[in-house]
Every structure is written in structure tokens, then in C-alpha cells.
Structure 1
């Protein structure tokens, strides 16, 4: 599995839109996406970050344009990498501004 820019190469193919898919391309989220789905992580009092799996799954569905049934087929390791990619959209610039830990 590899992550380059907004593209994720899956370690295990999934079925999406009646074809087998091994690469997911993610668009950047908009403010509307964040308003409708919420942030994909929780920032704790000790500055640790907890990924919210239900929210990140909805982002994967929307940003990679695949159905939730395809998200459900993803291997745990692919889902983890995709979740970090999603969270990274909103933490990249913030990390620099407020010294946030890397995911």
C-alpha cells in the first residue's frame, strides 16, 4: 500500500461501481464536507488525536467517490492509511501553525 499526494494504492482490491479497484483517488474536502460530516478526528486534552472511524469512512466514501459497501470491503490496513490521508487534509496546515503532533 502506498500513498502519493491524494492517491492511495490498496494492498487488496475492492469492488466499486462494478469493477475491481486497486487505486483510490481522493479529492480535497470542502468546507461543506466538514460541515456535513464533522471533523474526522478528535483532539484530546493531552494533544493526542483519535481518528473517528465512522466519520473517516464517510469521508472515504465521499472523497474517493466509492460506495460505503466498497469502504466496508477495505482491508483494515488500507482503511487505516485512508483514514490518516483523510485526517491529513485538515491537519497539515494546522500542524505547522499550532505544533500539532503528526498522525
Structure 2
């Protein structure tokens, strides 16, 4: 990913597999506007238009897998420590987008 700006370069606590390779480093590129617009955002049952009365599940795994160019299963198989680092990097974009989406 030398030609793209990185959001995160994470040396993994535990290696994971992706595309028949073992990765010890995961690189997530900076998201583009289209990455956010491509997200499927659904309002959970019971949630009103202001976000009250329900629970929103952020599409963290799907978004992170797209930015890292790895299958979603790779993100799901990260150690808890690594998964938290990835979520910390990508969730602010998702929360900001959802806030804009709700307005």
C-alpha cells in the first residue's frame, strides 16, 4: 500500500490468514467518500429516526475488511487486542457518517 495514505499500520499481536497468506501486519488505507456511501446502513427494529429505542450495530468488520483489502473473516479472526485497535481506527468514520446520515 505504498501509494495510498494509511489510516492504520498494525503489527498484529497474533498473525491471521488472508488470501492464503499469513499476515503479521495489517494495513488499512484511508477511506474515501465512496467507501462510506457504499455502506449498507439499516435502522434496527424498534429504533426511531433519532436513534432512540434500539441498538445500532456498526458495520465495522465490513468497513475494515474493505480498507485492508482482506476478507471479513480475517477481521473477525483478529485477536481481541488487534480487533480493538482496528475498531478504534475505523469507528470514528462510521459514527461521523451515521451522524450526518441521520440529519
TM-score computed with the length of structure 2 as normaliser? 0.63
Equivalent residue, structure 1, for 2:17:
15
Deviation string for 1:18-52 (max 9, x for gaps)?
1110111111111111111268xxxx89xxxxx94
Residues 28 and 89, structure 1, Cα contact 8 Å, conserved in 2: no
* Structure 1: gaps spanning 5 or more residues: 46-50, 92-103
Secondary structure of 2:17 counterpart: strand
- Distance in 2, matches of 1:28 and 1:5, equals 5
Equivalent residue, structure 2, for 1:62:
66
Give the alignment's Cα RMSD to 1 decimal. 2.8
Alignment map for 1:25-40 (pairs within 5 Å): 25-37=27-39
Alignment map for 1:1-103 (pairs within 5 Å): 6-37=8-39, 52-53=57-58, 55-88=59-92
The 4+ residue runs of structure 1 with deviation greater than 2 A are: 87-91
Task: Judging by fraction of residues, say which structure has more helix.
Answer: 1
Radius of gyration: which is bigger? 2
* Structure 2: gaps spanning 5 or more residues: 1-5, 42-50, 96-103
